[in-house]
Structure 1
Amino acid sequence: MSSLVDFPVSLPTSAFPPETNASDVASAFTSKLNDLQEQHFVKDALWRDTFALTGTLRTFYSAPSIFAAWKETSSQAKVGNFATDPDSAYVVRIGENVAWLDVNFTFETSGSPQTTCSGFLSLVPDGEGGWQIWLLRTILEQLKGHGNVDVLESAQTNGHGGHVSNGTEDETSFDCVVIGGGQAGLSAGGRMKALGISYVILDKNPEVGDSWKRRYNSARLHTTREYAHLPFDRTFPSHYQELLTKDDLAQGYKDWVSKFGINIWQKSSAKTGTWDPIQNVWTLNIQRDGNDRTLKCKYIVLAGGGGFQTPSMPIYADRDIYQGTVLHSADYTEPSTWKNKHGVVVGTANTAHDAADDMLSAGLASVTMIQRGITYVLPLEYYKVPTEIADRIGSSNPNAVADLASQLSLKAMVDKEPERFDALERAGFKVDRYGSIIHHIANRMGGHYLDVGVSKKISDGLITMKSDSVPIRYTRDGLEFADGSVLKADLIVFATGFVHNMKLQVKDLFGAEIAEQMGDYWGLDEEGELKGAFKRCGHPALFYHGGTQGHARFFSRFIALQIKAGLLGTPLALYKPSQMAKVLQ
């Protein structure tokens, strides 16, 4: 797992000339895009390509490395028709010293397949009256002549409502089978329908939305409603509350599936599968409504979402003598049965705060959170990002750049209200007030708390903290700690997370050989890209899909585009640098 601080990235600090006209700067760069040279980049420039020219997700560091890769990929793809949008140009400022000029551009490729693409140039003054590229971002938009991956007509307005969109439910052969009916699976299925790919989504739950509805009663988002939409529309319009509950999410998913006629089979689970490398076909053994069936397909998308399948739970000695109740958060629903009794939550991330707040509201005699390490706390109001920014702009950023920019912005907000965090520390909560949200999402898939109000209850002493020692064993009525102290507990909820690596699911379904081909899922690789997710990563016809709701929505478009290109016989060319390019890199 790579650390974000290991990448050669810094934010530009050059001062902008006061007479800078952003539109004029943008217009002047159009001709340079048609013939980019190494001198057009600052020495420590970056290029992040999102499937446009490399056929995958790649980040290149330094001007020589970028130029070598750009020259080869643009030649192979036959890029052209570059156009900047001068009206889109604007200056980005973070704090007093960091600034750059952003401008949108578009281009096309006439190679195989033919595509339309977009991008962003982040420009800085070169010190001699001109401008250079600090950050180049390129994004695959569409395959020419093969539908629009971002647009899907409502099935309710075209007279084809209901869940089935690709024929009858008796079909046994599809272009793609999506395993998992949560946000990631639904997003992938919808994108495939938009491109005319035959597909089915397999969801083990009885009803659409049960991936949320069957969670603990108080489960809700710790991000805003705007971040939660599925593709194509505003899934959660203004009559929904700002912080969506599990029931809100389930209803929104149901409405979306009905609106777009998504082909989803409920009570359906994949059991085993085999790959035929000669015929390039999967045979998938499933169980549907208790009946065994066999499906054939050309591609499989394993849509494990956030990876909440395998609970992770510490083991303490003497479990057999404890007389109370122990639950992992995966099995926790609500605590009313324990009113006037003592509740303990092990963990201090989002779910732990939810469970502790539940216990407080249910009238437990005491509620204690056990903190085993320092926790990053990020107030929700610091992190409200519109969908369009989160998707196109935010998701195309190199992770290391996003990390530096977000830390700089968030630090300024934290410094404006130190008492908020000082109060938590006085209450015994070990706060990391200057943490990295990008690290927690990209490397840990959690472990932080996005504060939706529980921090104040901790600061006020309504929820107490045990953070000075770690549990080592159970007692008859609680937990004993390494320092010899004992904590009474009638209910212990372990909010200690899950094993997020979908490689384990691949092994269970398809065997060890294919699991090793696919490799790990999540965490950062040597270029700062997420391992395995959203791209071809060892097997030609199997994809990992998941992450946050923003990941699920945005990157589902690229999974569908890759599969469509493969079905057309013109797969996206994966960039393999020549010997000269390797020397430069």
Structure 2
Amino acid sequence: MITKGVDANQIATEWLAGLDKAASAGDVEQFTQCFLPDGWLRDILCFSWDFRSIESRTGIASYLIETLAGSTRLAAVGLHDLTLDTSSTLKPSAFPIPGAEGALGIQGAFRFTLRDPAARGRGFFRLVPSQEGYKALAVYTAMHELVGHEEPTERPRGIPLDATRMTTWEEDRAAEVQAIEDDLTVLIVGGGQCGLMAAARFRRMGIHALIIEKTPRVGDVWRNRYPTLSLHIPAHPSSFLYQSYPKNFPEYIGRTKLADFMESYAIQQEITIWTSSIIQSNTVPVFDPEMKRWTVVVNRAGNNVTLNPKHLILAMGSGKPHIIRLPGQEKFKGEVYHSDFHLGAKKYRGKKAVVIGAGNACADMCQDFVSNGAASTTLVQRSATCLTSLKTSTAQITGNYPEGCDLVDADLFANSLPPRLAVKLSAARIGEVKKADAELHQGLRDKGFELTWKHKGVEAGTLLFIYEKFAGSTLLDTGIGNLIVDGHVSVKQGVEPSHFEENAIVFNDGSKLDADVVVLCTGNQPIMSNIEALMGPEISAKIGAVWGLDGAGELRRAWRPTGQQGLWIFPGGFGHARYYCRFLALQIQAELLGVKEPTPGYPVA
């Protein structure tokens, strides 16, 4: 346990010196002795050109002792010059050790260098006291730049040094766009937050990238959704790469304001993007392994254009709406539609609304119906939901991302835990989460709303559902809880819709609800459904599933090798997009420079 007289900086310095000595010598045994017996290593692109999380000294040793370039993996990469990152906001500090009441560990950021490839990186450690002294519960290593090819951080000059070569910004920008279109390196499919931030990162790193976006305007992917949609994550942690929201933006940003910001972001970051453009539906992109380029036919506003990028990034988000169709639906006199097509509840004043589902979209629908004077609003909860109040969720998030914090450091900290260890620590704290919302949870149970924090027998709350179900079966409560507790929204639980009658929807237990409108908040198809429709069955079979933790302890196919050369998948939210675009850019940059060969994807399970 850390006491008042213990110097966290000294302990961190001594521990890191030991790790550096072992790494520099390529001594796997001494390197792993810096960890707890059940400690963890998470690595991104340092010990291999992939992501990997490894548990236990034995597991870490087995990985690092593997043969690579005629040596052990640890010796081959040449990890050295590990130093505390004293210039960051993540200096050595104490942290409470989960499950050990009153005990404190030491955590902090560090920097390091690799010999092969010649690169620099950043890392993070969490040390806990043991009988052998302070040992690592978890260490994170992540490549941040290739030596000689660093991402520029200074402002562009704007005015040329040679006064005889003056040009306008418009001329320079037109020349840049022409160069990208003439010799395209990366084609990004999808102009949402993931596509935009990836393209902004690529441009800063000098990689020619073009986005194709199916809608007429940047931001339409948010602008065209239901009117009451807003972010449920606070503005600061939802910031875009290089460009945070203005201080007068609301904490939870509405869809249209967000869409307009995205449009301005594309302009200000000088992203090259074709709107009203899709990959031609009757052709499948084809990769030529000899030329190492794709042939992609794009319908650009009605005109077919053939592109030959070296890399193809799919940033298309979730699949199409999952729409259930029930017997008798054609006889139903009311309206039935998926929540993606909800245009607002004003027209349903005095009407009876039934909402199928119990996630965030369902909550938004119910709140809209109640706010606009529906005669009744009933939520049909088919299975249990992992519900957290907005207050509790925001407190957790802002603990890592306080307003005004350095986002680069905050992202490093937030992503430094191996996912499976993060789930274990979340499970250890689940009692605190339940306690924070205990009154709300009891009120919901009293109204028949079923709650859960388990997935496949593991009780770890929202984080586990994010990793394994892309946040399916979760709900961030922005007000639906009180509407249920106060009787504004009724709950019908544990039933499945069976069929329609003229004025009602009937369930599999024989009960029915009179209805004028039924909204299907039944989610979306898996990410792979979009990919298979675009890429065809042969390439899709190489990819396998996307998302969910694989045998390497990392998210399947997300921002890492997919099993198909030159093809990358970029899913996720704002934080994912902002942080992981760096690693996707580094992998592509390394291939372009000849630093690495294409990396096989982690084996399909």
Same fold per superposition (TM over 0.5): yes
Q: Tell me which residue corresponds to 1:580.
A: none
Q: What amino acid maps onto 2:9 in structure 1?
A: S
Q: Tell me which residue corresponds to 1:491.
A: 517
Matched-pair contact (CA < 8 Å) for 1:562–1:572? no
Q: Tell me which residue corresponds to 1:583.
A: none
- Per-residue CA deviation, residues 504-554 of structure 1 (Å, 9 max, x unaligned), is 333323322111122221111123211111001201210000112211111
Matched-pair contact (CA < 8 Å) for 1:152–1:232? no
Q: How far apart, CA to CA, are the structure 1 residues paired with 2:469 and 2:462?
A: 10
Please give the TM-score of this superposition, normalised by the length of structure 2: 0.87
Q: How far apart, CA to CA, are the structure 1 residues paired with 2:477 and 2:159?
A: 40
Q: Tell me which residue corresponds to 1:289.
A: 301
Q: What amino acid maps onto 1:58 in structure 2?
A: R
- Per-residue CA deviation, residues 353-391 of structure 1 (Å, 9 max, x unaligned), is 001111111211111110001111111222333145652
**What are the within-5 Å matches in structure 2 for residues 541-556 of structure 1?**
541-556=566-581
Q: Could you say if the C-alpha distance between residues 350 and 556 of structure 1 is closer, same or farther in structure 2, counting changes exceeding 3 Å?
A: same
Secondary structure in structure 1 of the residue aligned to 2:62: helix
Matched-pair contact (CA < 8 Å) for 1:212–1:249? yes
Q: CA deviation at 1:123?
A: 1.1
**What are the within-5 Å matches in structure 2 for residues 281-360 of structure 1?**
281-305=293-317, 307=318, 309-360=319-370
Match among 237, 257, 261 for residue 252 of structure 1? 261
- Per-residue CA deviation, residues 203-245 of structure 1 (Å, 9 max, x unaligned), is 11111111100111111111111122111121x1211111110
Q: CA deviation at 1:31?
A: 2.3
Q: How far apart, CA to CA, are the structure 1 residues paired with 2:597 and 2:489?
A: 53
Q: Tell me which residue corresponds to 1:75.
A: 75
Identity in percent: 27
Matched-pair contact (CA < 8 Å) for 2:564–2:601? no
Matched-pair contact (CA < 8 Å) for 1:163–1:262? no
Q: Tell me which residue corresponds to 1:108.
A: 113
Match among 147, 151, 160 for residue 148 of structure 1? 151
Q: Number of aligned residue pairs: give it.
A: 556
Q: How far apart, CA to CA, are the structure 1 residues paired with 2:102 and 2:176?
A: 55
Matched, 1:395 2:415: yes
Instruction: Tell me which moved more, 318-327 or 372-381.
Output: 318-327
Q: CA deviation at 1:394?
A: 1.5
Instruction: Tell me which moved more, 384-393 or 346-355.
Output: 384-393
Q: How far apart, CA to CA, are the structure 2 residues paired with 1:367 and 1:98?
A: 49
What RMSD over aligned residues (CA atoms) do the two structures have, in Å?
2.5
**Consecutive unaligned residues in structure 1, runs of 5 or more:** 1-14, 578-585
Q: What amino acid maps onto 1:511 in structure 2?
A: G
Q: Tell me which residue corresponds to 1:92.
A: 95
Matched-pair contact (CA < 8 Å) for 1:535–1:543? yes
Q: CA deviation at 1:405?
A: 2.7
Q: How far apart, CA to CA, are the structure 1 residues paired with 2:461 and 2:427?
A: 6
Q: Could you say if the C-alpha distance between residues 394 and 327 of structure 1 is closer, same or farther in structure 2, counting changes exceeding 3 Å?
A: same
Q: CA deviation at 1:260?
A: 1.3
Secondary structure in structure 2 of the residue aligned to 1:105: strand
Q: CA deviation at 1:131?
A: 1.5
Secondary structure in structure 2 of the residue aligned to 1:483: coil
Q: CA deviation at 1:448?
A: 0.7
Q: How far apart, CA to CA, are the structure 1 residues paired with 2:589 and 2:446?
A: 56
Q: How far apart, CA to CA, are the structure 1 residues paired with 2:517 and 2:174?
A: 44
Q: CA deviation at 1:402?
A: 1.7
**Consecutive unaligned residues in structure 2, runs of 5 or more:** 24-29, 66-71, 161-167, 402-406, 454-458
Matched-pair contact (CA < 8 Å) for 1:55–1:572? no
Q: Could you say if the C-alpha distance between residues 401 and 163 of structure 1 is closer, same or farther in structure 2, counting changes exceeding 3 Å?
A: farther
Q: Could you say if the C-alpha distance between residues 460 and 65 of structure 1 is closer, same or farther in structure 2, counting changes exceeding 3 Å?
A: same
Q: Could you say if the C-alpha distance between residues 360 and 522 of structure 1 is closer, same or farther in structure 2, counting changes exceeding 3 Å?
A: same
Q: How far apart, CA to CA, are the structure 2 residues paired with 1:420 and 1:516?
A: 45
Q: What amino acid maps onto 2:203 in structure 1?
A: K
**What are the within-5 Å matches in structure 2 for residues 217-232 of structure 1?**
217-232=227-242
Secondary structure in structure 1 of the residue aligned to 2:202: helix
Matched-pair contact (CA < 8 Å) for 1:376–1:432? yes
Q: CA deviation at 1:563?
A: 0.7
Q: What amino acid maps onto 2:75 in structure 1?
A: S
Q: How far apart, CA to CA, are the structure 2 residues paired with 1:493 and 1:549?
A: 27
Matched-pair contact (CA < 8 Å) for 2:389–2:437? no
Matched-pair contact (CA < 8 Å) for 2:181–2:210? no
Secondary structure in structure 1 of the residue aligned to 2:200: helix
Secondary structure in structure 1 of the residue aligned to 2:241: coil
Q: Tell me which residue corresponds to 1:527.
A: 552
Matched-pair contact (CA < 8 Å) for 1:300–1:543? yes
Matched-pair contact (CA < 8 Å) for 1:202–1:265? yes
Q: Could you say if the C-alpha distance between residues 439 and 164 of structure 1 is closer, same or farther in structure 2, counting changes exceeding 3 Å?
A: farther
- Per-residue CA deviation, residues 404-455 of structure 1 (Å, 9 max, x unaligned), is 3334445314314522211111122112367521122111112211111221
Q: Tell me which residue corresponds to 1:136.
A: 139
Q: Tell me which residue corresponds to 1:8.
A: none
Q: What amino acid maps onto 2:15 in structure 1?
A: F
Matched, 1:457 2:467: no
Q: How far apart, CA to CA, are the structure 1 residues paired with 2:599 and 2:311?
A: 18
Q: Could you say if the C-alpha distance between residues 123 and 164 of structure 1 is closer, same or farther in structure 2, counting changes exceeding 3 Å?
A: farther
Q: Tell me which residue corresponds to 2:583.
A: 558
Q: Could you say if the C-alpha distance between residues 178 and 165 of structure 1 is closer, same or farther in structure 2, counting changes exceeding 3 Å?
A: farther
Matched-pair contact (CA < 8 Å) for 2:320–2:530? no
Matched-pair contact (CA < 8 Å) for 2:191–2:213? yes
Matched-pair contact (CA < 8 Å) for 1:177–1:201? yes
Q: Could you say if the C-alpha distance between residues 412 and 157 of structure 1 is closer, same or farther in structure 2, counting changes exceeding 3 Å?
A: farther
Instruction: Tell me which moved more, 522-531 or 156-165.
Output: 156-165
Secondary structure in structure 1 of the residue aligned to 2:506: strand
Q: Could you say if the C-alpha distance between residues 536 and 380 of structure 1 is closer, same or farther in structure 2, counting changes exceeding 3 Å?
A: same
Matched, 1:369 2:369: no
- Per-residue CA deviation, residues 119-171 of structure 1 (Å, 9 max, x unaligned), is 1121112214x21122111011111121317x485899996479868332992
Q: Could you say if the C-alpha distance between residues 27 and 216 of structure 1 is closer, same or farther in structure 2, counting changes exceeding 3 Å?
A: same
Q: How far apart, CA to CA, are the structure 1 residues paired with 2:477 and 2:556?
A: 28
Q: CA deviation at 1:52?
A: 2.4
Secondary structure in structure 1 of the residue aligned to 2:313: strand
Q: How far apart, CA to CA, are the structure 2 residues paired with 1:527 and 1:419?
A: 39
- Per-residue CA deviation, residues 153-193 of structure 1 (Å, 9 max, x unaligned), is 58999964798683329925300100000001001101110
Q: Could you say if the C-alpha distance between residues 442 and 98 of structure 1 is closer, same or farther in structure 2, counting changes exceeding 3 Å?
A: farther
**What are the within-5 Å matches in structure 2 for residues 48-63 of structure 1?**
48-63=42-57
Match among 113, 119, 126 for residue 122 of structure 1? 126
Q: Tell me which residue corresponds to 2:225.
A: 215
After TM superposition, the runs of 4+ consecutive aligned structure 1 residues lying more than 6 A away are 154-159, 161-165
Secondary structure in structure 1 of the residue aligned to 2:178: coil
Instruction: Tell me which moved more, 340-349 or 246-255.
Output: 246-255
Q: What amino acid maps onto 2:438 in structure 1?
A: P
Q: Tell me which residue corresponds to 1:181.
A: 191
Q: What amino acid maps onto 1:281 in structure 2?
A: R
Matched-pair contact (CA < 8 Å) for 1:55–1:575? no
Q: How far apart, CA to CA, are the structure 1 residues paired with 2:275 and 2:522?
A: 29
Q: Could you say if the C-alpha distance between residues 555 and 85 of structure 1 is closer, same or farther in structure 2, counting changes exceeding 3 Å?
A: closer
